[in-house]
Amino acid sequence: MLEIKNLVVQIEDNRILNGLNLTVADGEVAAIMGPNGSGKSTLSYVIAGKEDYEVLDGEILLDGQNVLEMAADERAAAGVFLAFQYPLEIPGVGTMTFLKACLNAQRKARGEDELTTPDFMRRVYAAADTLEINREMLKRALNVGFSGGEKKRMEILQMALLEPKFCVLDETDSGLDIDALRIVSEGVNALRAQGRSFLVITHYQRLLNHIVPDTVHVMSKGQIVKTGGKELALELEASGYAEYRTGEAA
Amino acid sequence: MADVTNLRSPAEAGLSKLFESARKSFATEEAISREEAFRFFEATGLPSRRVEAFKYTDLRAAITEAAPPAEAPAEDAAKAAVAGATSFAKIEAVRLTFVNGHLVAALSDLDRLPEGVTVAPLNAALAQGDARLKRLAPVEQARENPVYQLNTAFLADGALISVAEGARPAMPVHLRFVGAGATAFSTATRVLVELGAGAEFTLLESHEGPDGVAYQPNDALDVRIGEGADFRHARLNAEGRAAVALSTLSVRLDAEARLETVNLVTGAVLSRHQIYLHVAGENANAVVNGAALLGAGQLADSTLLADHAAVGGVGREMFKTVIDGDATGVFQGKIIVRQVAQQTDGKMKSDCLLLTDDGQMMNKPELEIFADDVACGHGATCGAPDDDLLFYLMARGLPRAVAESLLVQAFVGEAVEAVSHEGARAELIGRIEAWLAARG
Task: Please say if the pLDDT value at position A56 is more than 70.
Answer: yes
Q: What whole-number distance in Å separates Cα of residue B218 and Cα of residue B209?
A: 13
A-chain CB neighbours of B387 within 8 Å are: 51-52
- The pTM assigned to this predicted structure is 0.87
Nearest CA in chain A to B408: A92
Q: Map out the domains of chain B as residue ranges.
A: 10-281, 386-439
CB distance from A114 to chain B under 8 Å? no
Q: How far is CA B186 from CA A35, A234, A239, B68, B244, in A?
A: 71, 81, 82, 6, 9
- For A130, other C-beta atoms within 10 Å of its C-beta total 16
CB distance from A79 to chain B under 8 Å? no
Separation in Å, CA of A50 to nearest CA in chain B: 6
Task: Please say if the pLDDT value at position A89 is more than 80.
Answer: yes
Q: What whole-number distance in Å separates Cα of residue A102 and Cα of residue A225?
A: 36
CB distance from A144 to chain B under 8 Å? no
User: Whose CA is closest to A203, among A248, A230, A225, A233?
Assistant: A233
Nearest CA in chain B to A107: B397
Quick check: B394 and A73 CB within 8 A? yes
Chain A to chain B, count of Cβ pairs less than 8 Å apart? 77
Helices (H), B69-213: 75-83, 122-127, 132-135, 140-143, 146-154
Quick check: B397 and A50 CB within 8 A? no
The closest CB to that of B410, out of A91, A102, A103, belongs to A91
The helix/strand/coil state of B110 is coil
- For A38, other C-beta atoms within 10 Å of its C-beta total 26
Weakest-pLDDT range from A47-56, A120-129, B30-39, B97-106: B30-39
The closest CB to that of B399, out of A51, A105, A162, belongs to A105
Quick check: A109 and B397 CB within 8 A? yes
Separation in Å, CA of A44 to nearest CA in chain B: 11
pLDDT tens for chain B, 440 residues: list them.
Answer: 455 556 789 999 999 999 998 887 776 656 668 888 899 899 889 999 999 999 999 999 999 999 999 999 999 999 999 998 999 999 999 999 999 999 999 999 999 999 999 999 998 888 787 877 776 667 888 888 999 999 999 999 999 999 999 999 999 999 999 999 999 999 999 999 999 999 999 999 999 999 999 999 999 999 999 999 999 999 999 999 999 999 999 999 999 999 999 999 999 999 999 999 999 999 999 999 999 999 999 999 999 999 999 999 999 999 999 999 999 999 999 999 999 999 999 999 999 999 999 999 999 999 999 999 999 999 999 999 999 999 999 999 999 999 999 999 999 999 999 999 999 999 999 999 999 999 86
Q: What whole-number distance in Å separates Cα of residue B255 and Cα of residue B226?
A: 7
Nearest CA in chain A to B406: A93
- Measured CB to CB, residues of chain B less than 8 Å from chain A are 387-389, 391-400, 402-403, 406-407, 409-411, 413-414
Q: What whole-number distance in Å separates Cα of residue B282 and Cα of residue B279?
A: 8
Quick check: A88 and B388 CB within 8 A? yes
CB distance from A96 to chain B under 8 Å? no
Q: How far is CA A76 from the centre of its chain?
A: 12
Q: What is the pLDDT of residue A248?
A: 46
B-chain CB neighbours of A77 within 8 Å are: 397
The closest CB to that of B394, out of A71, A141, A162, belongs to A71
As a whole number, mean pLDDT of residues A110-114 equals 89
Separation in Å, CA of A147 to nearest CA in chain B: 18
Q: What is the pLDDT of residue A240?
A: 83
Q: Is the Cα torsion angle A95, A99, A105, A106 positive or negative in sign? A: positive
Task: Please say if the pLDDT value at position A246 is more than 60.
Answer: no
Say which CATH class A2-89+165-244 falls into.
Answer: alpha beta
The closest CB to that of A105, out of B398, B407, B411, belongs to B398
φ, ψ of residue B222 in degrees (nearest 5): -110, 125
Q: Which residues contact B268 (CB under 8 A, 6 or more apart)?
A: B237, B239, B240, B241, B243, B244, B245, B298, B300
Quick check: B410 and A92 CB within 8 A? yes
Percentage of chain A beyond pLDDT 90 is: 68
Which ipTM did the prediction report? 0.94
The closest CB to that of B392, out of A77, A84, A101, belongs to A84
User: Whose CA is closest to B127, among B156, B148, B162?
Assistant: B156
- pLDDT tens for A145-193 read 898 889 999 999 999 999 999 999 999 988 888 888 998 899 899 999 9
Interface mutation vs chain A, best among B320, B388, B391, most A CBs within 10 Å: B391
The closest CB to that of A105, out of B389, B397, B413, belongs to B397
CB distance from A111 to chain B under 8 Å? no
The closest CB to that of A102, out of B391, B397, B409, belongs to B397
The closest CB to that of A71, out of B387, B400, B414, belongs to B400
Q: What is the pLDDT of residue A79?
A: 95
Q: What is the pLDDT of residue B253?
A: 97
Q: What whole-number distance in Å separates Cα of residue A218 and Cα of residue A201?
A: 10
Separation in Å, CA of B402 to nearest CA in chain A: 9
A-chain CB neighbours of B411 within 8 Å are: 92
Q: Map out the domains of chain A as residue ranges.
A: 2-89+165-244
Q: Which residue(s) pair with A196 in the sheet?
A: A193
